């Protein structure tokens, strides 16, 4: 399928591809884009239907698989003439897409950064919750999804101490097209268990997790790092699930250290 994704393409140097989470857009990486573009070519797309990228309305019913999003990214790299292997940085759903990118486009990868994400697939209960949202989001409106999700995305300390960020994240989710929300929920519900992939990964992998992440917990991410031959975990203080926005200094620092180690 020919999909034209909107993407920020900033800076020069080894390419870094930033893949946002659900139901967000590339602006969740704003701190990392500014910092990493000093030394790298940073490409930060909006996935199909999110931010400024278009989506076909039928996708609300058919769903978009993690493999399809991964193929969209490979197509974007072709369009931007990025021939050099990239470091893919995936946040949460962006991480699920990262596993598929590994399976389908391994030769295009230099390394992986997997941020606040999981390798396991959904439990039946989690699938049920996703299907319910996919079915009803058009009637509910995206603002309802924001109200459900913001308290789970941010650490209690962020909710209390940084209400401006909570408002900003709520606004980003509220502006999301319900078609994109439904399509991604169906795609995530059907995603594979990527746990068996971890032991086969033949590239450096940095895992990053907020210490108060309740969605992809530090224990779960430690197990993923342990199962990955060249994997290691950075735990970020003062952050929940949305660590790139909650503690951008430490998240960006961990990424810079990792990216710097790749060139030596």
Beta bridge partners of 19: 90
Distance between CA atoms of residues 134 and 215, nearest Å: 19
**Contacting ligand MLT (CB under 6 A), which of 134, 215, 234, 259?**
215
**Contacting ligand MLT (CB under 6 A), which of 89, 102, 173, 188?**
188
Which C-beta is closer to ligand MLT: that of 108 or that of 241? 241
Told to check if 21 binds ligand MLT by CB under 6 A, we report: yes
Q: What are the C-alpha distances in Å from 246 to residues 33, 91, 126, 161, 192?
A: 15, 13, 25, 10, 29
Told to check if 239 binds ligand MLT by CB under 6 A, we report: no
Interface of this chain with ligand MLT, residues 100 to 159, rule: CB under 6 A: none
C-alpha triplet 28, 209, 13: angle, nearest 5°: 55
Q: What are the C-alpha distances in Å from 121 to residues 37, 211, 216, 239?
A: 33, 22, 12, 24
Which C-beta is closer to ligand MLT: that of 86 or that of 119? 119
| 242 close to 28: Cβ distance less than 8 angstroms | yes
Told to check if 22 binds ligand MLT by CB under 6 A, we report: yes
Cβ at position 93, least distance to ligand MLT in Å? 3
Told to check if 182 binds ligand MLT by CB under 6 A, we report: no
Phi/psi at 15 (nearest 5 deg)? -75, 140
Cβ at position 111, least distance to ligand MLT in Å? 21
Told to check if 245 binds ligand MLT by CB under 6 A, we report: no
Told to check if 93 binds ligand MLT by CB under 6 A, we report: yes
**Burial class of residue 119 (count of CB atoms within 10 Å of its CB; 0-12, 13-18, 19+):** buried
Contact residues for ligand MLT, defined by CB under 6 A: 21-22, 92-93, 188, 215
């Amino acid at each position: 399928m020919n999909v034209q994704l909107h993407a920020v393409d900033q800076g020069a140097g080894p390419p870094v591809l930033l893949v946002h989470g659900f139901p967000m857009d590339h602006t969740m990486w704003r701190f990392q884009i500014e910092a990493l573009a000093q030394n790298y070519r940073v490409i930060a797309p909006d996935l199909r239907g999110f931010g400024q990228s278009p989506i076909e309305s039928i996708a609300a019913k058919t769903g978009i698989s993690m493999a399809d999003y991964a193929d969209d990214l490979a197509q974007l790299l072709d369009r931007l003439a990025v021939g050099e292997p990239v470091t893919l940085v995936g946040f949460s759903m962006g991480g699920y897409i990262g596993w598929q990118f590994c399976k389908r486009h391994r030769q295009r990868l230099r390394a992986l950064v997997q941020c606040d994400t999981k390798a396991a697939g959904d439990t039946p209960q989690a699938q049920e919750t996703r299907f319910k949202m996919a079915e009803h989001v058009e009637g509910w409106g995206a603002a309802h999804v924001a109200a459900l999700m913001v308290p789970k995305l941010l650490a209690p300390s962020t909710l209390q101490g940084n209400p401006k960020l909570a408002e900003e994240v709520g606004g980003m989710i509220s502006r999301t097209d319900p078609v994109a929300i439904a399509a991604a929920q169906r795609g995530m519900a059907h995603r594979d268990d990527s746990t068996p992939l971890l032991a086969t990964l033949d590239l450096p992998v940095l895992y990053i997790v907020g210490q108060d992440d309740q969605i992809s917990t530090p224990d779960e991410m430690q197990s993923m790092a342990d199962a990955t031959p060249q994997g290691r975990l950075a735990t970020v203080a003062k952050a929940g699930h949305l660590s790139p926005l909650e503690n951008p200094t430490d998240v960006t620092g961990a990424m810079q250290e990792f990216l710097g180690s790749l060139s030596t």
